[in-house]
A and B are shown apart, each in its own frame.
Chain A
Amino acid sequence: MRCQRARKWMTAAVDGELSPRRRRALDGHLAACAACRRELAVTERMLTALEGLPMEAAVSARLEQATLRRVRLAAADEAERAPASRWRRWLPLPAFALATAAVLVLAIGIVRRTGEVPGAPAVRPAPKVDARDAAQAQRPPRRIAKALPAEPPAKLAEAPDLFVDMPIIRNLDKMTHFEAIQTTTLDDEPATPDGQEPPSNG
């Protein structure tokens, strides 16, 4: 077997998806190829790490600001380049009317719900804040928040237990034969303490 094929089969091997014949062929190759053994170890570590990866990413405030600035510049460029169509020339008028109506509806809603006029000064004086705290508060959040959707996507709604138990399902073979695997020895001695071969899963 060539290294290229061995590497193609490695992910399936880590997941226990390889047929016994292919697994034997791969093991035969691994016994003779140190580079592929290292590659297999890396693949295993990577898949294990992926499994435990949190679903949120820390983004620095500086990077976020720079990205937003680029997006704004790109949008401005795009707007300049786009030719104004005939109907677009009349667009600002209804858009302005619509925006005014929306603000009025919102303001009426707030007054009716809270009894407070938006924009009116607050009764209690605002607490004094340190300049550094204020700067910190103005900075955008550094983590991308996780948000549970109001309605789960169709796939998730169809079989939620698939996703609840996904790590177990991913490691089904290992968890099914957990005890037999734990009693396996790593030297060349027989697999189980009483000298029996490990049970086959059929």
Chain B
Amino acid sequence: MRRGAAIAVVLLALAAPAARAQERHGRPWQELSPEEQWRAWENYQRYQQLPEERQKMLERRYQQFRAMPPQERQRLRQNWDTYRGLPPRQRQEFMDKYHRWKGRK
């Protein structure tokens, strides 16, 4: 009985860093669907072409994104889908509104 409890404690201790890493970095590569792997690979190539300070900025924002609750991340994904679905004119209008909104903050 005591031995089983000890094994469970050891397993938990071993699993904790992995869980923390997943919390920080998201899913491992193997868990991505083939479409997601493609998207990640394409975006990675874009990322490689960015200047270093922009890469760092993205990493900072990614940590902010990871720190959000799952529902909030889902809301942002839905907003992105809505934005992507907008026709070019409305997208431009959204950008104009964003700058106006940002200026008022």
Q: Would you call A184 and B43 a contact (CB within 8 A)?
A: no
A44-B95, A163-B43, A166-B43 as given contacts; A172 in contact with B101, CB under 8 Å: no
Q: Known interface pairs A44-B95, A149-B41, A175-B76. Does A23 touch B27 (Cβ–Cβ under 8 Å)?
A: no
Residues of B within 8 A of A181 (CB): 94, 97-98, 101
* Cross-chain contact A169 with B25 (CB below 8 angstroms): no
Given contacts A48-B91, A168-B65, contact A176 B76 (CB under 8 A): yes
Across the interface, A159 reaches (CB within 8 A) one of B25, B61, B64, B100, namely: B25
A156-B41, A163-B41 given; A55·B104 CB < 8 A: no
Instruction: Report the number of A-B residue pairs with Cβ-Cβ less than 8 Å.
Output: 142
Secondary structure type dominating chain A contacts: helix
Which residues of B are found within 8 Å of A198, using beta-carbon distances? 101, 104-105
A200 close to chain B: CB less than 8 A: yes
Comparing A12-20, A98-106, A114-122, the segment that makes contact with chain B is A12-20
Interface residues on A, range: 35 or more
Contacts of A182 in B (CB 8 A): 94, 97
Interface residues of A, Cβ cutoff 8 Å to B: 13, 15-17, 20, 23-24, 27, 44, 48, 50, 53, 55, 146, 148-149, 152-153, 155-182, 184-186, 191, 197-198, 200-201
Which of B's residues lie within 8 Å of A, judged by CB? 25-29, 32, 36-47, 54, 57-59, 61-62, 64-66, 76-77, 79-80, 82-83, 91, 93-105
Sort A-B residue pairs by CB-CB distance and give the 3 closest, nearest first: A161-B26, A163-B40, A178-B79
